[in-house]
Amino acid sequence: MTALSVAAVIGAALAARTFGDEPPLRPLVTASVGSHPDAQVRWVGFSPDGRHLAVRDAVRVSDHRYDAVVTAFDARTGRPVASVRIDRGENPLRRTVSPSSLFTSTDRLAYGDGSKLRLLALRPGQPLGAELDFRGTPVRPGSSLVGIDPAGRTLYAVAEHVEGYAVRRAELGDSPGGWVKIDKVAEGGGEDRDLLAVALDPAAGRFVAAIAPVPGGKPAIDSWTLGDEPAKTTLTPPHTVAALAFAPGGQKLAIGDDSGAAGWYDLADGNALAYFPNLTLWTTAAVAFSPDGKYLAGGSLGRGANLFLLDVAGEALAARLPVDPAAVVAVAFSPDGKRLAVAGGSGAVTIWDVADLLKTGKE
Least confident of 89-98, 161-170, 201-210, 282-291: 89-98
Strand partners, 148: 155
Q: What is the C-alpha separation between 294 and 334, in angstroms, rounded? A: 14
Same-domain pairing of 133 and 265: no
Are both 272 and 148 inside the same structural domain? Answer: no
Q: How far apart are CA 101 and CA 103, in angstroms?
A: 6
Where do the DSSP E strands lie in 195-283? 195-201, 206-211, 220-225, 231-235, 241-246, 252-257, 262-266, 272-276
Answer yes or no: is 222 within a domain. no
On whether residue 214 sits in a domain, the answer given is: no
Residue 362 forms part of a structural domain: yes
Are 121 and 152 in a shared domain? yes
Where does 29-107 show beta strands of DSSP type E? 29-32, 40-46, 52-62, 65-74, 80-87, 103-105
Mean per-residue pLDDT for 320-332? Answer: 89
Residues 259 and 116 in one domain: no
Q: Considering the domain boundaries, does residue 94 fall inside one? A: yes
Residues in contact with 301: Cβ distance below 8 Å, sequence separation at least 6, in sequence order? 282, 283, 285, 327, 328, 329, 345
Q: What was the pLDDT predicted at 68? A: 67
Statement to judge: residues 148 and 244 lie in one domain: no
| Residue 92 Cα distances to 56, 74, 86, 127, angstroms | 10, 25, 9, 26
The pLDDT score that the predictor gives to residue 7 is 40
Q: Comparing 193 with 131, which gets the higher pLDDT?
A: 193
CATH number of the domain that residue 85 is part of: 2.130.10.120
**Domain final residue pick, 133, 160, 192:** 192
Q: What is the mean pLDDT of residues 217-223?
A: 91
Calculate what percentage of the chain has a pLDDT beyond 70.
65
Is residue 312 very low, low, confident or very high in pLDDT (cuts 50, 70, 90)?
A: very high
Of 161, 177, 192, which residue sits at a domain end? 192
68 and 155 co-located in one domain? yes
Mean pLDDT is lowest, of 114-123, 148-157, 336-345, for: 114-123
pLDDT tens-digit readout, 5-30: 334 333 333 333 344 555 678 999 99
pLDDT of residue 65: 60
Question: Is residue 323 included in any domain, yes or no?
Answer: yes
Residue 219: the pLDDT is 92
**97 with 179, same domain?**
yes
Domain contains 213: no
Residues 6+ apart with CB under 8 A from 229: none
- pLDDT (average), residues 262-278: 93
CA of 272: how far to CAs of 2, 173, 294, in Å?
A: 11, 40, 18
Distance CA 354, CA 28 (A): 10
pLDDT at 119 over 50: yes
Q: What is the DSSP letter of 3?
A: H
**123-137 pLDDT per residue, tens:** 665 555 555 555 544
Question: Distance of alpha carbon 281 from its chain centroid, rounded?
Answer: 20
Q: Does any domain span residue 230?
A: no
Give the C-alpha separation, 46 to 73, whole Å. 9
Tell me the residue type at 263.
G
Q: Are residues 167 and 46 in the same domain?
A: yes
Is pLDDT of 192 > 80? no
pLDDT band at 96 (very low <50, low <70, confident <90, very high): very low
Q: Who's near 360: CB < 8 A, 6+ residues apart? A: 24, 25, 319, 321
Three-state SS for 113? strand
Q: Which structural domain, as residue segments, surrounds residue 138? A: 38-192
Residue 47 has pLDDT above 80, yes or no: yes
Q: Where would I find the H helices in the chain?
A: 3-13, 354-360
- What integer pLDDT is reported at residue 233 of this predicted model? 93
Residue 357 three-state SS: helix
Domain count, the chain: 2
Q: Which long-range contacts (CB under 8 A, 24 or more apart) does 131-138 make?
A: 131/177, 132/157, 132/168, 132/170, 132/179, 132/182, 134/159, 134/166, 134/168, 135/182, 137/161, 137/166, 138/162
Residues 43 and 23 in one domain: no
280 and 353 in a single domain? The answer is: yes
Confidence at residue 324, expressed as pLDDT on a 0 to 100 scale: 87
Structural domain ending residue among the three candidates 192, 211, 226: 192
Same domain for 183 and 136: yes
23, 136: one domain: no
Sheet holding 348-353, edge to edge: 29-32, 348-353, 339-344, 328-333
155 or 355, greater pLDDT: 355
CATH of the domain at 355: 2.130.10.10
Q: Is residue 270 part of a domain?
A: yes
Q: How confident is the model at residue 168 (pLDDT cuts 50, 70, 90)?
A: confident
Q: Render the burial of 207-219: b for 16+ CB within 10 Å, e for the rest.
A: bbbbbbeeeeeeb
Average pLDDT of the chain, as a whole number:
76
111-125, 208-222, 329-343, range with greatest mean pLDDT: 329-343
